[in-house]
């Protein structure tokens, strides 16, 4: 399996383990498989049995083997077994799926150590990183940005591991108290929390700026765990497949997925699964008030907003106005035109965005492909919508959901008359992470799972820095020189 950059017109081939540690391509593009492996009916039938006999970890191994052929098969099986087990996840199925109401399901992705769907990818990423670094005798300094859940998931997956440091940028004051407690409460020598004076998009921009400094990135072995890292998406593809297999009885059946998203990573994994041949009907993008993606799918205009225009909402993990993984889908939609992709995301986005007229004279063709062939559609929710959905879902269905999942449920219910197949909403997090909104909806706080007892009482370990890439670089260098891993 070869990998190429979305911006490399020469389609230079890289291996899985090389892009695993590198994250962002040196040309600023994102890595993609040169060709998607195709799922046959025979493969899906075999995987139904694998899921029954070996569980989620065994299925994950089969999927990962298709994309990581430079890691021995038995090693892959060992790594997925270490990642997906009841020591790390609170449910033996890892990703159980339940029916919310007729034609509407929820895939429960929040059974991991930080109660967020990001654990699904991070637990595997931690195993992959440690294996490959040990094999090479190298170390890595992970630089990431989080709007709430990626940071804690990454830190819990990487804490205490050999040859790894984690530097995680967070938007100061923009996360919930529970999210801050999860991250800032960690006191591990290889974990460094940085509160940046800005919003998530500022944090993401700093990560990209540091990564674009090739000399610095090489000298200090900077890697990535954000969804710019292909291995994150690969791990997420697995739960699309497992959820499909759980909801259907034969490969003749199709399902749709509704995905709360801001950075387009979670639903991009669904796009990959659909391109592989998983029988997916529609991929429904659910946004909050920061609706840049919804605007694109409705109008064809992609106009990222500034930090000042990015609204703080009750679903803060989606308070994003520059969707990094959107580039991967557009790359496919343009028939993998690296020159056009580089122009759109390397130039046009910096100038304010792009529209149909900027798509190389193929605007109508590309937008039609995205909607019809790729199956994308979208919706959005307001704070009032989410609060009402949390309340109604609790009262009518006996299920308590967090505000991000509520965004997905609200949008899914709103488009059901346009979708002919069952819809699976991907859960984002447990309600305990967003207690204030739950109190507003129900009049009482959500119950704190036993595994999180006392988390709010821990100390806080975080450095405050200005929104400046050079200041972040200085912090990284100082930490590397003063800590061993």
261 assigned to some structural domain: yes
| Helices 326-333 and 265-276, packing angle to 10 deg | 30
Average the pLDDT over 425-441 and give the result. Answer: 95
413 assigned to some structural domain: yes
Residue 344, both tokens: 């759109």
Average the pLDDT over 413-424 and give the result. Answer: 97
Look at residue 334 and give its three-state secondary structure: coil
Residues 6+ apart with CB under 8 A from 272: 36, 233, 234, 237
Beta-carbon neighbour count of residue 162 at 10 Å?
Answer: 11
| pLDDT the model gives residue 411 | 98
Q: Which letter does DSSP use for residue 438 in this model?
A: H
Residue 168's beta-bridge partner residues?
144, 193
| pLDDT the model gives residue 306 | 87
* Cα 239 off chain centre by: 12
Q: How many domains does the structure of the chain reveal?
A: 1
Residue 162, both tokens: 């050999």
CA distance 314 to 337: 38
201 assigned to some structural domain: no
25 assigned to some structural domain: no
140 assigned to some structural domain: no
| pLDDT the model gives residue 192 | 97
Per the rule left: phi > 0, alpha: psi between -120 and 50, beta: everything else, 360 is left
66 assigned to some structural domain: no
Torsion of CA 10, 16, 20, 23, to 10 degrees: 10
Least confidently predicted of 17-21, 354-358, 400-404, 462-466: 17-21
pLDDT of 227 > 80? The answer is no
Residues 6+ apart with CB under 8 A from 460: 180, 184, 185
Look at residue 130 and give its three-state secondary structure: helix
CA distance 254 to 235: 22
User: Do β-strands 97-101 and 376-380 pair in parallel, antiparallel, or remain unpaired?
Assistant: unpaired
Average pLDDT, the chain: 95
> 304, 266, 301: which is closest to 286 by C-alpha?
266
Q: Give the catalytic positions in this structure.
A: 118
The domain of 280 spans: 97-113+230-442
CATH code, domain with 389: 3.40.50.1100
| pLDDT the model gives residue 155 | 94
Q: Token pair 């993990």 is at which residue?
A: 317
| pLDDT the model gives residue 316 | 84
| pTM over the 0.85 mark | yes
Beta-carbon neighbour count of residue 99 at 10 Å?
Answer: 13
* Cα 198 off chain centre by: 21
84 assigned to some structural domain: no
Query: Is the CB of residue 199 less than 8 Å from the CB of residue 116?
Result: no
Residues 228-258: b if buried by 16+ CB within 10 A, e if exposed:
bbbbbbbbbbbbbbbbbbbbbeebeebbbbb
pLDDT 10s digits, 147-159? 777 888 999 999 9
332 assigned to some structural domain: yes
H/E segment holding residue 178:
helix 177-184
Query: Is the CB of residue 142 less than 8 Å from the CB of residue 225?
Result: yes
pLDDT of 67 > 80? The answer is yes
């Amino acid at each position: 399996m070869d990998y190429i950059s979305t911006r490399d017109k020469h389609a230079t081939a890289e291996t899985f383990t090389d892009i695993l540690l590198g994250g962002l391509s040196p040309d600023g593009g994102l890595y993609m498989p040169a060709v998607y492996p195709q799922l046959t009916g025979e493969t899906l039938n075999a995987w139904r049995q694998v899921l029954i006999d070996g569980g989620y970890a065994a299925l994950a191994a089969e999927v990962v083997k298709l994309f990581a052929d430079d890691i021995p098969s038995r090693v892959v099986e060992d790594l997925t077994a270490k990642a997906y087990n009841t020591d790390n996840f609170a449910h033996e199925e890892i990703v159980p799926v339940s029916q919310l109401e007729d034609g509407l399901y929820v895939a429960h992705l929040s059974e991991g150590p930080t109660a967020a769907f990001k654990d699904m990818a991070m637990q595997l990423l931690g195993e992959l990183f440690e294996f490959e670094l040990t094999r090479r005798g190298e170390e890595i300094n992970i630089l990431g940005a989080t709007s709430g859940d990626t940071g804690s998931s990454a830190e819990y997956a990487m804490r205490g591991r050999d040859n790894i440091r984690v530097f995680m940028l967070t938007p100061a004051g923009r996360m919930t108290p529970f999210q801050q407690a999860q991250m800032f409460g960690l006191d591990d020598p290889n974990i460094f929390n940085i509160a940046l004076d800005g919003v998530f998009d500022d944090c993401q921009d700093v990560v990209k700026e540091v990564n674009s400094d090739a000399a610095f990135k090489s000298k200090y072995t900077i890697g990535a765990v954000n969804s710019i890292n292909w291995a994150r998406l690969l791990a997420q593809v697995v739960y699309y497949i497992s959820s499909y297999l759980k909801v259907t009885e034969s490969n003749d059946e199709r399902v749709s997925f509704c995905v709360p998203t801001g950075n387009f990573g979670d639903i991009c994994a669904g796009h990959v699964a659909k391109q592989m041949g998983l029988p997916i009907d529609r991929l429904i993008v659910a946004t909050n008030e920061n609706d840049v993606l919804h605007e694109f799918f409705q109008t064809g205009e992609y106009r990222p907003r500034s930090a000042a225009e990015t609204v703080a909402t009750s679903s803060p993990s989606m308070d994003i106005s520059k969707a990094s993984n959107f580039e991967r889908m557009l790359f496919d939609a343009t028939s993998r035109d690296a020159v056009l992709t580089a122009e759109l995301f390397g130039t046009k986005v910096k100038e304010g965005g792009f529209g149909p007229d900027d798509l190389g004279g193929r605007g109508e063709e590309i937008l039609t492909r995205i909607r019809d062939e790729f199956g994308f559609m979208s919706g959005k929710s307001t704070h009032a919508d989410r609060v009402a959905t949390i309340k109604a879902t609790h009262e009518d269905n006996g299920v308590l959901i967090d505000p991000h999942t509520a965004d997905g449920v609200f949008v899914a219910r709103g488009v059901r008359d346009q979708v002919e197949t069952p819809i699976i909403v991907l859960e984002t997090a447990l309600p305990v992470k967003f207690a204030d909104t739950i109190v507003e909806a129900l009049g009482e706080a959500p119950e704190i799972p036993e595994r999180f007892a006392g988390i709010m009482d821990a100390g806080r370990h975080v450095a405050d820095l200005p929104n400046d890439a050079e200041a972040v670089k200085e912090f990284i260098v100082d930490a590397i020189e003063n800590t061993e891993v």
